[in-house]
Structure 1
Amino acid sequence: MSVQKVANAAKIYKKVMMVPPVHFDVIHKGLNAHMKLSEPVDRIKALKQWETLRTTFNNLGLETEICRPVPGLVDMVFSANSAIVLDNKALIAKMNAHPRREESEHFARWFRERGFDVEELEKIGKAYTFCEGNAEFSPTHDLSSFFFGFGQRTAESAYEPILDFFDLNKSDVLKVRLVDERFYHLDVCLAPLALGHVIFYPGAFDEVSVKRINDAVGSRDKAIELTLEEGLQFSCNCVSFISNEGDAVVVASKFSHRLRNILEELGYKCVEVNYDQFLLSGGSVRCSVVDIALQRDQ
């Protein structure tokens, strides 16, 4: 990787927005295949796990901004679903998950108060157009291209409004179809990493999409296929960036020995943070952040 690309990567993932899990609970049935209504959430433990994650990010050089949680909106902690944010523009999500739709007005207000150019998918998309934010829109390490996931809780019809709002070309944004209900968002089955690699679980996608992913990465040694077990451990639901010390880090709730060895051999520092309370709702580390400082070179 060139010095310039490392510098670019270091600038990309340096600020995220998070929501404290003050009101977090698992009360909605069937929003994804992993939700466990039978096991109560330990809110004190959940808050400690979230605070540990935020502290880990801050210590590594990833800045975090906070959006205040709203009583009754138990899933707001999963801020990845709030919006897609690029070039100081925020496209507010239109949730397919009906119990979460009220979140959007609060997130829209947060972005407007901070000077973002805000649009709501609800207003520019078709009636059946849903997209659950950053969870379905993943940039490559240098912002040269993006992955757009659809087929579970995001509609393919969101593709065109996203392109229009962010002034992107079709060649910039690669559509990938999710076909396994256990992998309900792109960010639970694919993650671009800070040095140009991509980890993904191929069984989550149709064959055409797997080919697109491999082609986009450019070489087979940079496309790292996970096993089903690793996929179900939410290993893809990670955050990867260049730390202030210059390390390429990957922060996740779980790494298998195999995956850890692969990533460490490629030059990554693997940081594991226990996040088991949020797994009760089918969410993990990446679900808890939305990138707010992605800026393409002008």
Structure 2
Amino acid sequence: MTLTDTAAVPVERAASARTVLMCRPDHFTVSYRINPWMHPANPTDTSLAVQQWETLRSAYVDLGFDVQLVDPIAGLPDMVYAANGGFVLDGIAYGARFTHPERAPEGPAYMDWFERAGYAVHVPEEINEGEGDFLLAGEVILAGSGFRSSTASQAELARVFGREVVGLELVNPSYYHLDTALAVLDPEPAPGAEPTIAYLPSAFSEASQGVLRERFPNAIIVTEADAAVLGLNCFSDGRTVVVASRALGYARQLRERGYETIDVDLSELLLGGGGVKCCTLELRR
């Protein structure tokens, strides 16, 4: 049996309790352009964005997630993409410091929420966009750079959390955050077990592709077509993966590995360059 055949054998998956932070898109629109997905001249439908977001929130509630909410702020249309608001681990909230001035006020807004919720807040010195570029994979933090979060933020992240940080360079502007090009599917792998990830190789530099092949030899390799609808911008509790409805091939790959899938349509929020994971910030005590 080849390695590929071994990787495709499904195993029994176990769900773990998840606590997440979300922000209702009451003020969503596309009024500026800071990524290739955004086209301010094209119309957006805020009410549809809210309906689609509510479907996602309901899916999380049905899965038993503890869904916390941060109040949206007028004039901050991208605040719905809660994942960018920080990175929370071990009861510490490492705040965001955004690249673009249009989103800069979101950083303090999320840090205020973290403080009120009882987290120890670390105000960042370096440019970073939170869990958009930082993903926990077992005991290791995978950290993206190239478009938004600076490489200097990786050293700051390591100091704050005392964890190994593995830098990954993004090279395709359509996948400007790590969570658009890579998904961690096992939030709490068994001790000593390799967490399962999925990723799009072409989103990364050759050197970073080598790192991913070495560390995650059994990863799910996603097609360009499924990545292009932000299929990798999904969220998993270890058993069930909430995924973009148009990422049909990727959903099939997930089921072949023993995951259950729930598909959601966030097509309106995709106009701002975000999907399931962008709307979801994990809170870890």
Q: TM-score scaled to structure 1, two decimals?
A: 0.86
Report what 1:227 is aligned to: 223
Deviation at 1:44, TM superposition (A): 1.1
CA contact 1:234–1:254 (8 Å) conserved in 2? no
Return closer, same or farther for 1:256/1:69 CA change in 2, 3 Å cut-off.
closer
Q: CA deviation at 1:6?
A: 6.5
Q: Given the superposition, is the C-alpha separation of residues 268 and 6 from structure 1 closer, same or farther in structure 2, using an over 3 Å criterion?
A: closer
In structure 1, stretches of 5+ residues that fail to align are: 243-247
Q: Is 250-259 or 277-286 further displaced after alignment?
A: 250-259
Q: Tell whether the 8 Å contact from 1:27 to 1:37 is kept in structure 2 after alignment.
A: yes
State how 1:195-206 maps to structure 2 within 5 Å: 196-206=195-205
Structure 2, unaligned stretches of length 5 or more?
A: 1-11, 190-194
Q: Is the 8 A contact 2:128 2:150 kept in 1?
A: yes
Q: Please give the TM-score of this superposition, normalised by the length of structure 2.
A: 0.90
Shift of residue 18 of structure 1? 0.3
Distance in 2 between the 1:239 and 1:186 partners? 13
Post-superposition CA distance 1:20-47 (Å, at most 9, x none): 1011111012x11111223221111111
Letter in 1 for 2:64: G
Q: Deviations over 1:147-198 (max 9, x none)?
A: 1000111110111111111122xxx221100011111000000001126321
* 8 Å Cα contact 1:138-1:146 kept in structure 2: yes
Q: Deviations over 1:246-282 (max 9, x none)?
A: xx11101235443222211111111111101101111
What corresponds to 1:71 in structure 2?
A: 74
| 2:108 corresponds to | 105
| Aligned Cα root-mean-square deviation (Å) | 1.6
Q: Letter of the aligned partner of 1:24 in structure 2?
A: F
> Are positions 1:89 and 2:95 aligned together?
no
Contact 2:13 2:258 (8 Å CA) reproduced: no
Does residue 161 of structure 1 match 2:167?
A: no
User: Structure 1 vs Structure 2: percent identity of aligned residues?
Assistant: 30
CA–CA separation in structure 1 for the residues paired with 2:172 and 2:65: 32
Distance 2:100 2:81 in 1: 13
Aligned residues between the structures: 267
Task: Report if the CA contact (8 A) 1:249-1:271 is conserved.
Answer: yes
Using a 3 Å threshold, how does the CA distance of structure 1 residues 107 and 257 change in structure 2: closer, same or farther?
A: closer
Letter in 1 for 2:135: S
1:20 aligns with: 24
Partner of 2:3: none
Matched, 1:191 2:183: yes
